[in-house]
Amino acid sequence: MASRFHDVFPDPCALIGVVHLPPLPGSPEYGGSFADVREGALVDARALASGGATGLIVENFGDRPFFPGRVPSVTTAAMAVVILAIREVFSGPVGVNVLRNDAETAIGLAAVSGASFIRVNVLVGTAFTDQGVVEGKAHDVLRLRSQLAPQVAILADVAVKHATPPPGVTLEQMAEDTFFRGGADALIVTGRATGDPCPTDDLRRVRVAVPDAPLLVGSGMTRESAATFRDLTDGAIVGTSLKQVGLKSAGLKQAPVDAARVRSLLGAYRGK
């Protein structure tokens, strides 16, 4: 089955860097200057471009505690402004992840901004999270995509991080349902939490269960572990490992992206 993922990322070992947005207007920890939010996002986007990242994905990482469903209109507006600005400085594919699980808003943002893909934490089934029970809405998401942005690829998590699947549901079942019944264009496997290593056994299980699905590692990849994932995956979504490690005053995840670390990790992932 043809996948939009390979239309967006035709080359193997795609490295997708994450632009972790700080708290946006309306969120509890918003700092009061949207100009600073926008400029920080552009700094990260330029660093990812300079380091050779294949693509990048923008997410409202700082907006905790996250809404389990639709986000407020001010969040949508803020993300639209940032994504459009990023597309002026980053020529590769740009994606959107609206946390915690607002795939419909992500589709809308992609439609108006020209973004190429979205990430959906829970596309099908349910997950028990710190936001409560989060339910997949593939039936709505795919219909909305067909109306607004048919070319946009949907990258969907299997057993997403910071969540627990329902009792008795296996990783293989979740992968099969997400790809075949939910219509995902690619599957993402992660560790337990942001930045945690992804178990290679989980990747192998998903690969065996759904061999035709493009597969991405979604957390915890480092230069040291990159070679491990090279033959198991079609791509990687990387955030924490690309940060300037010396700047931890606001926490590593809020530190800016380091172009040299992007370049180094990409080389390790592709065996160069």
pLDDT of residue 254: 73
Q: How far does Cα 28 stand from its chain's mean position?
A: 23
- Spell out the domains of the chain, with CATH numbers in brackets: 4-270 (3.20.20.70)
- Please check whether residue 261 is in contact with residue 41, taking contact to mean a CB–CB distance below 8 angstroms: no
The band of 49, judged by pLDDT with boundaries at 50, 70 and 90, is: very high
Mean pLDDT over all residues of the chain?
94
Q: What is the spatial distance between Cα 189 and Cα 198, in angstroms, rounded to a whole number? A: 7
Q: Helical H runs in 64-130?
A: 73-87, 103-113
Q: Which of 125, 23, 54, 32 is nearest to 267 (CA)?
A: 54
- Please check whether residue 58 is in contact with residue 52, taking contact to mean a CB–CB distance below 8 angstroms: no
Q: What is the spatial distance between Cα 203 and Cα 250, in angstroms, rounded to a whole number? A: 32
In the chain, DSSP assigns E strands to 14-20, 55-59, 94-97, 117-120, 126-129, 132-135, 153-157, 163-164, 186-189, 215-217, 235-238
Q: How far does Cα 156 stand from its chain's mean position?
A: 9
The band of 1, judged by pLDDT with boundaries at 50, 70 and 90, is: very low
- Please check whether residue 117 is in contact with residue 153, taking contact to mean a CB–CB distance below 8 angstroms: yes
Pick 166 or 96 by higher pLDDT. Answer: 96
pTM (2 decimals)?
0.94
Q: Which of 252, 237, 230 is nearest to 190 (CA)?
A: 237
Give 124-179 pLDDT, tens digit per residue: 999 999 999 999 999 999 999 999 999 999 999 999 889 999 999 999 999 999 99
